[in-house]
Amino acid sequence: MSAETQAAIDNDGSPKVVDLKAEYEKSGVAEVLDELDRELIGLKPVKQRIREIAAMLVVERARKSLGLTHDTPTLHMNFAGNPGTGKTTVAMRMANILHRLGYVRKGHLVSVTRDDLVGQYIGHTAPKTKEVLKRAMGGVLFIDEAYYLYRPDNERDYGQEAIEILLQVMENNREDLVVIMAGYADRMDKFFESNPGFRSRIAHHIDFPDYSDDELLEIADGMLAQQNYRFDEKAHELMARYIELRRQQPHFANARSIRNALDRARLRQANRLFETSTGPLDAVALSTISAEDISVSRVFTMPGNKAASPGRADK
| pLDDT for 62 | 86
Query: Where are the strands (E) in 99-257, listed by range?
Result: 109-112, 140-144, 178-183, 204-208, 230-231
Q: Is the pLDDT of residue 309 over 50?
A: no
Whether 19 and 126 share a structural domain? yes
Q: How many CB atoms lie within 10 A of CB 93?
A: 20
Whether 83 and 168 share a structural domain? yes
Taking alpha carbons only, the member of 119, 105, 252, 94 closest to residue 179 is: 94
Taking alpha carbons only, the member of 176, 152, 151, 183 closest to residue 79 is: 183
| pLDDT for 166 | 95
Q: Is the pLDDT of residue 268 over 60?
A: yes
Taking alpha carbons only, the member of 31, 76, 35, 80 closest to residue 53 is: 76
Whether 285 and 177 share a structural domain? no
pLDDT tens-place string over residues 46-71? 999 999 999 998 888 888 888 886 67
Q: List, in order, residues 6 or more apart from 160 with CB less than 8 Å away.
A: 150
Whether 240 and 182 share a structural domain? no
Whether 88 and 7 share a structural domain? yes
Taking alpha carbons only, the member of 86, 145, 139, 79 closest to residue 118 is: 145
Task: Return the amino acid letter for 315.
Answer: K
CA distance 4 to 17: 14
Q: Could you say which of 208, 230, 249 is where a domain stops?
A: 208
CA distance 158 to 102: 35
CA distance 283 to 128: 50
Query: Does some domain include residue 249?
Result: yes
Query: Does some domain include residue 121?
Result: yes
CA distance 312 to 292: 10
Whether 145 and 187 share a structural domain? yes
pTM greater than 0.75 (yes/no)? yes
Query: Does some domain include residue 308?
Result: no
Whether 152 and 187 share a structural domain? yes
Mean pLDDT of 123-152: 94
Task: Return the amino acid letter for 102.
Answer: G
| pLDDT for 132 | 97
Whether 199 and 217 share a structural domain? no
Whether 107 and 237 share a structural domain? no
Mean pLDDT of 74-89: 95
7 burial (CB, 10 Å; 0-12 / 13-18 / 19+) is exposed
Measured at the alpha carbon of residue 261, what is the angle toward residues 256 and 266, in degrees to the nearest 5? Answer: 125
| pLDDT for 177 | 95
| pLDDT for 21 | 85
Whether 45 and 158 share a structural domain? yes
Q: Is the pLDDT of residue 172 over 60?
A: yes
Eight-state DSSP code of residue 249: S
Query: Does some domain include residue 313?
Result: no
Mean pLDDT of 12-23: 76
Place 257 in a pLDDT band, splitting at 50, 70 and 90. Answer: very high
CATH assignment at residue 237: 1.10.8.60
Whether 229 and 294 share a structural domain? yes
Q: Could you say which of 175, 208, 241 is where a domain stops?
A: 208
Query: Does some domain include residue 82?
Result: yes
Judge whether 275 and 290 are in contact, CB under 8 Å: no
Q: Is the pLDDT of residue 303 over 70?
A: no
Query: Does some domain include residue 306?
Result: no
Question: How many domains, in total, are found in the chain?
Answer: 2
Q: List, in order, residues 6 or more apart from 120 with CB less than 8 Å away.
A: 158
CATH assignment at residue 54: 3.40.50.300
Supply the range of the domain harboring residue 181.
3-208
Q: Which helix (H) or strand (E) holds 79?
A: strand 77-81
Q: Could you say which of 191, 208, 225 is where a domain stops?
A: 208
Query: Does some domain include residue 309?
Result: no
Q: Is the pLDDT of residue 27 over 90?
A: no
Query: Does some domain include residue 315?
Result: no
Establish how many alpha carbons lie within 13 A of residue 134's alpha carbon, considering only the half-sphere containing its beta carbon. 6
Radius of gyration of the chain (CA): 25
Whether 190 and 73 share a structural domain? yes
